[in-house]
Amino acid sequence: MSLLEARGLTRHFGGLRAVDGVDFDLRPGEVQGLIGPNGAGKTTFVSLLSGRIPVQSGTIHLAGEDITRLPAQARVRKGLAYTFQITSIFPGLTVFDNVALAVQGGRAQIGSWRGGGAALEAAVAAALGQVGMADLAGQGAGALSYGHQRLLEVAMGLALQPKVLILDEPTQGLAAGEIAGFMALVRGLVPAVSVLLIEHNMEVVMGVADRITVLNFGRVLARGTPAQISADPAVQEAYLGA
C-alpha cells in the first residue's frame, strides 16, 4: 500500500523532458532515497509532488486522495511537507518564531493558534527538540551556522505534523560530525512520518534509506534496496561510478 503515489508524472520545459512519465510509490513508515546525476529531474519531480510546479500529465495521490491539482499550501494541510534545497528561513526572526510560523501556516487552523499559548509553545518545543535545537529557541535565525539553519528548516517541516516529509539535500553544509546525528534523526522519524530524501551524499542515502529510486534524464533508471542499487550496472555507469 502506498502513502504517496505518482503515476505518469510529466513536466517538459520546451524541448527538455525534465520529468518524463515517472511512476513512484512511497510506503507508510518508509525512508526512500531519490538519487541521480545533476539534471536528472530530481528537483522538478519533487516540485511536482509538492505542488510548487503544476504537472502537465499524470496523477498524484496522498493517502488515497487525489491531490494532483491542489496548490502547494493545500497539500501541506493534507500532510505533505517539503524542505527546500536552499534554506528558506526568516533570518530576522528567532528560531522559535520561525517554527511558530510554520505551525500557524500548517495543518492546524490559523485562528486556533492566534495569540500563542501553551499549545503553540509545546508544538514548537517538540519540533526543535526533534532536531536537537531546543536550547537555541531564542537565538536569531540569521546568526545560526549554515548547518543549524538546515536543521531549523527540518524543524519547520516537522512542525507541520506531516504524513510525508520531503528533504531536499538536507546534509548540504553540515559538518562531518553533524551528519551522523542527522542520519539518526531521519531514522527516528519513522514510522510516524514517511521520508523522501533527495541527497548527493551516498553514505547518508545508503545508511538510512529502505529503498532508493534513481532518476536519469527525467525517467526512472532503477528502483531497489541500497544493496540492489549499489550493484546495478546501469546505475554505476550513470551515477555511482561518475
Model confidence at 22: pLDDT above 60? yes
pLDDT at residue 241, rounded to an integer: 64
Question: Nearest-CA neighbor of 224 among 239, 242, 209, 207?
Answer: 209
pLDDT at residue 116, rounded to an integer: 58
pLDDT at residue 106, rounded to an integer: 60
pTM of the predicted structure, to 2 decimals = 0.89
- Tens-place pLDDT, residues 87-120: 578 999 999 999 998 887 764 443 444 455 788 8
Q: What is the CATH number of domain 1-79+164-242?
A: 3.40.50.300
- Domain extents for the chain? 1-79+164-242, 94-161
Q: Which of 71-85, 166-180, 182-196 has the highest mean pLDDT?
A: 182-196
pLDDT at residue 175, rounded to an integer: 83
